[in-house]
Amino acid sequence: MRKAFISPSKYVQGEGELNNLGNYVKLFGSTALVIGHKDDVARVNDKLESTQKNYGVKLCYGGFSGECSREEIAKLTAIAKEKDCQCIIGLGGGKAIDTAKCVANSQKPVIIVPTIAATDAPTSSSAVLYHTDGSFDDYAYFKSNPNVVLVDTEVIAKAPVRFLVSGMGDALSTYFEARACAQSYAKVNAGGQCGGAVGTKAALALAELCYGTLLEDGYKAKLACEGKVVTKALENIVEANILLSGLGFESGGLAAAHAIHDGFTVVEEAHKFYHGEKVAFGTIAQLVLENAPSEEIEEVIDFCKLVGLPTCLRDFGIKELSREKLMEVANKACIPEESVHNMPFKVSAEDVAAAILAADKLGA
Ligand SMILES: [Zn+2]
């Protein structure tokens, strides 16, 4: 049986670590293009200025419009060429990070600097493309993962707490989805296009560690982030949200939780909620779908309530979900290419609709 595991070449996390960015740029050359929204760049400008001086490197700023679109990628690729940048830096949230991966396109080295820990995008070798109006365009897959992922925990601790909590929601699904994929021998992203591969024991172990870390340190990390301070618990959660969840999803596989998240994109009320917030509810629904033990479902719901993740439809501001709308969500979650079909049993749209309604009652 073919198994595969992929990861970034280097992951470095620490307080004030952004001060060492120049050290990593120097591995690849003297000039780098920074792709980041001006507000995110402004937040860390002191560190960017000092690292340039200390390491004798030049950072060029390409800006970032806010969408990882083909137009934006073309514009930034031209700037990288014009300024002769030897490496690309993605600085900010998921969309700036994904744009940097697309501009580098596995042809230039890429350094990822997440300024929030809201998703598991930083470590992966894929990106999500959007149209300039914000609607979904396509997925992009690259030959390699980022060369360096550099996480400054001081910067993450000072970002709004909702991002960290949302990242915990995304990380919450990782173990349960990897477990389902292991049971069904589903193909994982790490396997690439060459006939595919299933996950490794390593990926499943990382996913399990991810879940255990959330239970142990999630609430403590949330409080630390509210106080804008770095504690060991916060460091552990940053690692869970970015590294463990990132490796876990890419090499362990996705299943129903993310498919149900995708289904919820048809619900107007859910639009203002973050990726991880919807994935958290999708996780509860997946556990109902697979009829997980009551203690496990309760553990997940209790965790969500403790850190402030949504556990029922009312938490998304959905007062009533009509039968038509519910089936629209369920049908979207069950389109042929969706990861719901990685579950170790056959899943129909009716099954998903029932799981959503039952999860809503359990989490209310
Ligand atoms: Zn996710």
* pLDDT tens per residue, range 25-40: 999 999 999 999 999 9
Q: Is residue 153 part of a domain?
A: yes
Q: Does one domain contain both 137 and 16?
A: yes
Q: Is residue 93 part of a domain?
A: yes
d(CA 171, CA 177) in angstroms, rounded, equals: 10
Q: Distance, CA 323 to ligand 1 centroid (Å)? A: 27
CATH number of the domain at 199, please.
1.20.1090.10
Q: Distance, CA 175 to ligand 1 centroid (Å)? A: 12
pTM comes to 0.96
Q: Is residue 223 part of a domain?
A: yes
Q: Does one domain contain both 16 and 129?
A: yes
Q: Distance, CA 97 to ligand 1 centroid (Å)? A: 14
d(CA 331, CA 79) in angstroms, rounded, equals: 42
Q: DSSP state, 56?
A: T
Tokens of 224: 């630390």
Residue where a domain terminates, one of 157, 184, 202: 157
Confirm whether 131 is a catalytic residue. Answer: no
Confirm whether 271 is a catalytic residue. Answer: no
Residue where a domain terminates, one of 157, 177, 195: 157
Q: Distance, CA 119 to ligand 1 centroid (Å)? A: 6
Q: Is residue 178 part of a domain?
A: yes
pLDDT score recorded for residue 161 = 98
In the beta sheet, which residues pair with residue 150? 12
CATH number of the domain at 106, please.
3.40.50.1970
Q: Pick the catalytic residue: 37, 98, 275, 360?
A: 275
From the CB of residue 305, how many other CB atoms can be counted at a distance below 10 Å? 13
With a cut of 70, list the residues of the chain below it in pLDDT.
Answer: none
Q: Is residue 4 part of a domain?
A: no
Q: Does one domain contain both 144 and 173?
A: no
Confirm whether 341 is a catalytic residue. Answer: no
Q: Does one domain contain both 176 and 196?
A: yes
Tokens of 326: 């519910």
Q: Is residue 122 part of a domain?
A: yes
Residue where a domain terminates, one of 157, 177, 199: 157
Q: Does one domain contain both 239 and 114?
A: no
Domain membership of residue 251 as a residue range: 161-363
Residue 115, SS3 per DSSP: coil
Q: Does one domain contain both 137 and 68?
A: yes
- Give the total number of structural domains in the chain: 2
Planar angle of CA 145, 147, 152, nearest 5 degrees: 110
Q: Does one domain contain both 19 and 64?
A: yes
Q: Pick the catalytic residue: 258, 315, 351, 360?
A: 258
Within 8 A by CB and 6+ apart from 269, the residues are 316, 317, 318
DSSP for 123-153 reads T-SEEEEE-TTS-EEEEEE-SS--SEEEEEH
d(CA 66, CA 352) in angstroms, rounded, equals: 33
241, 164 contact by CB (below 8 A): yes
Q: Is residue 1 part of a domain?
A: no
Q: Does one domain contain both 136 and 174?
A: no
Among 220, 229, 210, CA closest to 155: 229
Within 8 A by CB and 6+ apart from 328, the residues are 263, 266
Q: Give the CA dihedral 351, 352, 357, 363, nearest 10 degrees.
A: 120
pLDDT score recorded for residue 55 = 98
pLDDT score recorded for residue 136 = 84
d(CA 294, CA 292) in angstroms, rounded, equals: 6
Ramachandran angles phi, psi of 10, nearest 5° = -145, 135
Q: Does one domain contain both 124 and 246?
A: no
Q: Is residue 3 part of a domain?
A: no
Q: Distance, CA 20 to ligand 1 centroid (Å)? A: 28
Tokens of 268: 């107007």
Q: Does one domain contain both 50 and 166?
A: no
Q: Distance, CA 120 to ligand 1 centroid (Å)? A: 6
Q: Does one domain contain both 176 and 278?
A: yes
Q: Does one domain contain both 223 and 150?
A: no
Tokens of 229: 């301070």
d(CA 297, CA 247) in angstroms, rounded, equals: 24
